[in-house]
Structure 1
Amino acid sequence: MKLFDVYPLFDVNIVKGQGCKVWDDKGVEYLDLYGGHAVISIGHSHPHYIQKVTEQLNKIGFYSNSVINKLQVELAERLGRISGYNDYQLFLINSGAEANENALKLASFTNGRTRVLSAEKAFHGRTSLAVEVTNNPKIIAPINNNGHVTYLPINDLPAWEKELQKGDVCAVILECIQGVGGIKLATKEFAQGLQKLCKEHNTVLICDEIQCGYGRSGKFFAHQWLDIKPDIITVAKGIANGFPMAGVLISPDFKPVYGQLGTTFGGNHLACAAALSVLDVFEQEGLVENARIVGDYLIEQLKAIDSPHIQDIRGRGLMIGIDLDIPQKDIRQPLIYQEHCFTGCAGTNILRLLPPLCLSKAEADLFIEKLKKVLASL
């Protein structure tokens, strides 16, 4: 048997990581400005993370959600305190797509509606409902194309108001900083107006914080820059630093009904131990603040680069897009193979930076040097 070929792969076999660096099987060191799709929040192989996960594995790694798991209770309490959402409820699952699936189901259970508004160029996952609210027809299979979703331009409030006034919208789902969509930021005016409209029309406001949340923007959630409070928040990626885990933060206005939601693996003992260790490191090392400080510095240094190929620099905290006038692969490939630095991409012309939140200014400077070398060589 061989692997089903779904990804174009770089010819690099990563076998070790530490902080913001990884090494391949030949011993070559790489600077990691991508964090495995924004998953590595506290850095690779953090000693506290290793200790806590190992300790938990030596006790019990998994048992059914049919019994009490006090680690889940501790995680909910600490996440509520650190994020500022003490009064919300937490449902734990395994992935970002699953978080969005459950958020949309919960919204529909609540108001009985089926129509959803999503942003143009949005990405919310690849499973049934999550992929339907993702604005990419290439990955929506016929079985998922059920006509539930209307896609609208981000920051065009009148367009969203027109649809919400029809009175049949179940939910609005929004990335306050679009990731795959090219690091486009929702404005405060748009987000606050949208929240007001959702309340007026009994529509559930869901903020997808899977990529832009969990400290990456320099606040715990990206929507907190916009002074809004969504009904439901979805999180994943950085929540457990690489261990598969996700969560749905649910307003106290929603009352649970047994049987509506469920999970086999979600919130298992190992996942909770990993997630709790992440929050430990967030607090001990000030990583949310570091994301803001180093992110601001990196954006400033990027904007100072004198290159005709850089059209725009967008982002907040350590979620940054470099908009190019050439294909991003012309930069990304030499960054990997010649300068030994990983970045991500969005579309054909945008480099996407999503490093671990422990990135230092010295490592940001090192990236700037590497990027300048590649730009100069074109």
Structure 2
Amino acid sequence: MPLFNVYPLYDVTPVSGKGIHVYDEKGAEYLDLYGGHAVISIGHAHPNYVKAVTNQVETLGFYSNAIQNPLQEQLADKIEDLSGCRGYQLFLCNSGAEANENALKLASFKTGKSRVLAFKNGFHGRTSAAVAVTDNKNIIAPINAQQKVTILELNDILGVKAELEKGDVCAVIVEFIQGVGGLDQGTADFFEQVFALCKTNNTMFIADEVQSGYGRSGKFFAFQHYNVTPDIISIAKGMGNGFPVGGVLIHPDIEAKYGMLGTTFGGNHLACAAGLAVLHTIEEEQLMDNVNAMSDYFMAIAKTIPQIKTIKGRGLMLGLEFDFEVGELRKKLIYNHHIFTGGAANKNLLRILPPLNIEKQHIDQFFEALKKALV
């Protein structure tokens, strides 16, 4: 049976990984500066992660949410401890798209309204409502387009105000650092005014932290760089270091009711074990401090390369913008220099999303290769 051919694939077959490297079937080593879309947060095959998942699968890999699972409570408490999001409630699911689906559903339940405001170049997933609020018509099927969505320019505060005052908007969903769209960010004034307008107009303020969360921005969540308190926070990607897990942090003002949300696999024992291993490693190895130090080091070198026109993003969620499309550059990096990088909707942007424990030597290796590839 053939695979459904929806992915353009590089001719590379990783079969193992260790730390910031992956290895193909021939034993060739690749520097992984993309982490499978920012999923690999603490490095491939981290000993803490391997031990936690192994021990759990040997004990109990899965049971449904019809029974008590103390691991869920431990994970919730650890997220609260490291993030500082006191009093929030946690709903566990399986992916970023599912996290955003549930975030939007909660907003609609809470407000009794159905329209959503989202922003140009935003990406929130590929399922029903999540893809409808994503700014890419090519991936929105007619069944998704039935959702009530208005997409505005980032930083258009007058547009946000005008739409919210119509009274039918249940949620504004924001990436504080856009991922797939190309690492653009709103201003602090914009985000803070949007938050205030949501409060005034009975609208839920959703922080999509699927890619930017878990320390990648230099704070646990990217919204924490601003003076806002989201009603709902969606998380996934780096949360499980490769194990499929997502979640929604829900403000205490939103009351839970039986049957309001549900999932078969979300919050299973293996997912919780993986999630706890990630959090313990971030804490024990002080990885958020490393994010900030390595980000400064990376940006200082990037500023010395004349072909780089703009450096975008924060922390270890970075983009290098050139005055040409980077598709061929990415191929040179992967095939000639064995370095994985990412692309974006902005075809001139090279995305850098390494594990949070990257070291200076890896950044040096990347820039040495980049200079050669740019010749």
TM-score relative to the length of structure 2: 0.99
Q: Secondary structure at the match of 1:144?
A: coil
Alignment match, 1:318 = 316
Q: Kindly report which structure 2 residues correspond to 1:148-167, keeping only aligned pairs within 5 A, or say none.
A: 148-167=148-167
Q: Give the drift of 1:45.
A: 0.4
Alpha-carbon distance in structure 2 between the residues aligned to 1:260 and 1:334: 49
Q: Kindly report which structure 2 residues correspond to 1:109-128, keeping only aligned pairs within 5 A, or say none.
A: 109-128=109-128
Give the total of aligned pairs. 374
Alignment match, 1:335 = 333
Alignment match, 2:368 = 369
Alignment match, 1:66 = 66
Deviations 1:174-209 (A, max 9, x none): 000001111001211111100000000000000000
Alpha-carbon distance in structure 1 between the residues aligned to 2:86 and 2:37: 28
Deviations 1:316-368 (A, max 9, x none): 00001111111111210000000100000112211111110011111111111
Contact 1:49 1:277 in 2 (8 A): yes
Alignment match, 2:289 = 289
Q: Secondary structure at the match of 1:244?
A: coil
Q: Kindly report which structure 2 residues correspond to 1:195-214, keeping only aligned pairs within 5 A, or say none.
A: 195-214=195-214
Contact 2:207 2:223 in 1 (8 A): yes
Deviations 1:19-64 (A, max 9, x none): 1111111111111100011000000000111001101111000001
Percent of paired sites with the same residue: 57
Alpha-carbon distance in structure 2 between the residues aligned to 1:220 and 1:355: 16
Q: Secondary structure at the match of 1:189?
A: helix
Q: Secondary structure at the match of 1:92?
A: strand
Alignment match, 1:300 = 300
Contact 1:339 1:370 in 2 (8 A): yes
Q: Give the drift of 1:86.
A: 2.4
Deviations 1:205-248 (A, max 9, x none): 00000011111000000010112110000000000100000000
Q: Secondary structure at the match of 2:266?
A: coil
Structure 1: gaps (5+ residues)? none
Q: Kindly report which structure 2 residues correspond to 1:1-378, keeping only aligned pairs within 5 A, or say none.
A: 1-307=1-307, 310-347=308-345, 348-376=347-375
Alpha-carbon distance in structure 1 between the residues aligned to 2:73 and 2:227: 28
Alpha-carbon distance in structure 2 between the residues aligned to 1:245 and 1:147: 26
Contact 2:129 2:147 in 1 (8 A): no
AA aligned opposite 1:345: G
Q: Secondary structure at the match of 1:351?
A: strand
Alpha-carbon distance in structure 2 between the residues aligned to 1:297 and 1:202: 43
Alpha-carbon distance in structure 2 between the residues aligned to 1:228 and 1:371: 38
Question: Which of 283-292 and 232-241 deviates more?
Answer: 283-292
Question: Which of 358-367 and 124-133 deviates more?
Answer: 358-367
Question: Which of 321-330 and 241-250 deviates more?
Answer: 321-330
Q: Secondary structure at the match of 2:309?
A: strand
Alpha-carbon distance in structure 1 between the residues aligned to 2:292 and 2:243: 24
Alpha-carbon distance in structure 2 between the residues aligned to 1:35 and 1:300: 22
Q: Give the drift of 1:147.
A: 4.6
Alpha-carbon distance in structure 2 between the residues aligned to 1:26 and 1:107: 50
Contact 1:299 1:320 in 2 (8 A): no
Question: Which of 152-161 and 269-278 deviates more?
Answer: 152-161
Contact 2:239 2:275 in 1 (8 A): yes
Deviations 1:252-310 (A, max 9, x none): 00000111100000000000000000011001101111111101211221121122xx2
Q: Secondary structure at the match of 1:166?
A: coil
Q: Give the drift of 1:159.
A: 1.5
Q: Secondary structure at the match of 2:62?
A: coil
Contact 1:212 1:221 in 2 (8 A): yes
Q: Secondary structure at the match of 1:162?
A: helix
Contact 2:320 2:351 in 1 (8 A): yes
TM-score relative to the length of structure 1: 0.98
Alpha-carbon distance in structure 2 between the residues aligned to 1:201 and 1:230: 14
AA aligned opposite 1:370: A
Contact 1:296 1:316 in 2 (8 A): no
Q: Secondary structure at the match of 2:275?
A: helix
Give 4+ residue runs of structure 1 displaced > 2 Å after superposition. none
Q: Secondary structure at the match of 2:10?
A: coil
AA aligned opposite 1:163: E
